[in-house]
Structure 1
């Protein structure tokens, strides 16, 4: 199936931050009831569904209007389908406040695993950001707080660990999103005891498979994956391709599910967090957390298909 110019333009405008236009997502979403695949956080044994929800751009919205209504429907669908991990940040504009208000309005906070970040310098500034995250997300206890991009790492990690000791944060981690930071990230992972790391990985960005993901498994760290669609670039490659017949072998019903299943098939990955506020895309993404995951041969087939697109 191919897309015409009108369909591509409409899809591009439909969702800020989603960076996605799958040809398969045309009919109204139907709620599946298949249990979602889960993986355990190594430091605790707590299980999380392997697909979550990112909020960069997509939830940088004000109350009222169509965007807010769409985000409300998306978060409700996510929670109703069994999704848990919602990742945000003070750097994502109004996203923390949107998630806090919507989760309270929908009464789904008990079902969610809320993650956010600090990205600042100095102890006082970090403590203020942490307090703001609690307030905006309306969560006296945040499930995961991360030092974003390793900024002022020692200071901010100490603040987050103190909050964990006080029972205001359950897990602590660090994040980055580019291969250029892998040397620094690897050093931190070897030096520090962390519950989580967050890093980029996709069919187009496979560098973390060689060093970072094996080290996370070795060190007993859970892994959140950002940029599973390479910032949306992967949809630009595959949007004109029909879904291959072999996608059925891994239970994939869309290109988004194929791309997510590639990332999720690495056993070191705990959860991927694609960003969207489109309810249909939320359910489509969660569909990647069902069925079987690709084996080594199927992973190579996915890489080859994308490379040849």
Structure 2
């Protein structure tokens, strides 16, 4: 396993970490015992950063991570998120009373006195123009409820605005082979300010696993079934905003570029690590085998310049016209 610094926290986190959305819900049926085996295997392999949220299974994901902490002695970092419990999800809801209540609930779910990293969970853009919201977070750090905080965003513009606040230690943003715009301007600015970058949806909702086909079906409660057009949340969260059929064509164009002995998923994770601004990717894992496959990507050799250029050509042909200026 490889490690990189996360912002100015002083932490070194595994370059392939663990995204806990899938073990909470909206990815089909969950099996808690399989999820726990996946979490344990992650620790076995040197993964020391786990990303969750209070809405993943209505706190279920957080509670599984609390169980992991009870069952293991190794130290690890947990990032959670707050804000999406608001209904309606409006900027006015990001006030001291609500944020404090959400954080107290997550503290209880996680069975800790302080959350390692609390992220605003894709807030309305107006929130980023309200310094009083970040003053609330600063107060919660001073009160010992949070160690650090960051923001999870949908758009590059939101990321650039968020890092203007000096207390923001990290930005979580969609970055993968099919969503490359963050590297254009934002990554350089984040590096300049010492802000960590968490690459979410690194496998593009499973597209970059190379295992999905036109015949693939998804459960009723799987966002890949109900959110393809953004009916529940931002369309860019599902298949990176790409049309599923077009995404499958792009995957077929990528497969010949994968070195022998690697899977497409491992190649996609290693591609993310090629950018030095990225702290880690946070792929999901619902079984020990998935976690093992993901973790192995951290130690793969660098991708050659020729192959990186070929990946860029695939992006420009299939994805860029449809996603680049949208997010």
TM range (shorter): 0.7 to 0.9
Q: Which of residues 230, 242, 261 in structure 1 aligns to 2:270?
A: 261
1:114-164 deviation digits (Å, cap 9, x = unpaired): 000111422111101111111101122221111111344544432322222
Q: Which of residues 183, 189, 202 in structure 1 aligns to 2:163?
A: 189
The count of corresponding residues between Structure 1 and Structure 2 is 263
Structure 1 SS opposite 2:284: coil
Say whether residues 1:165 and 2:142 are aligned partners. yes
Q: Is the 8 A contact 1:265 1:295 kept in 2?
A: no
Q: Which of residues 98, 103, 119 in structure 2 aligns to 1:130?
A: 103
Give the gaps of 5 or more residues in structure 2: 87-92, 213-247, 320-327
1:8-27 deviation digits (Å, cap 9, x = unpaired): xxxxxxxxxxxxxxxxxxxx
1:56-112 deviation digits (Å, cap 9, x = unpaired): 133339xxx9801100110010011110111111121221122222332x225x422
CA positional deviation for 1:46: 2.3
RMSD: 2.7
Taking the aligned partners of 1:277 and 1:256, their CA distance within structure 2 comes to 15
Structure 1 SS opposite 2:163: helix
Q: Is the 8 A contact 2:114 2:147 kept in 1?
A: yes
Taking the aligned partners of 2:55 and 2:258, their CA distance within structure 1 comes to 40
Taking the aligned partners of 1:146 and 1:262, their CA distance within structure 2 comes to 25
Structure 2 SS opposite 1:297: helix
With over 3 angstroms needed to count, the CA separation of the structure-2 counterparts of 1:102 and 1:207, relative to structure 1, is same
The residue aligned with 2:285 is 276
The residue aligned with 2:19 is 54
Q: Which of residues 278, 297, 300 in structure 1 aligns to 2:309?
A: 300
Give the gaps of 5 or more residues in structure 1: 1-35
Matches within 5 A, 1:61-140: 67-93=31-57, 94-104=60-70, 106-108=71-73, 110-119=74-83, 120=86, 121=93, 122-140=95-113
Taking the aligned partners of 1:242 and 1:208, their CA distance within structure 2 comes to 21
Say whether residues 1:146 and 2:119 are aligned partners. yes
Q: Is the 8 A contact 2:18 2:284 kept in 1?
A: yes
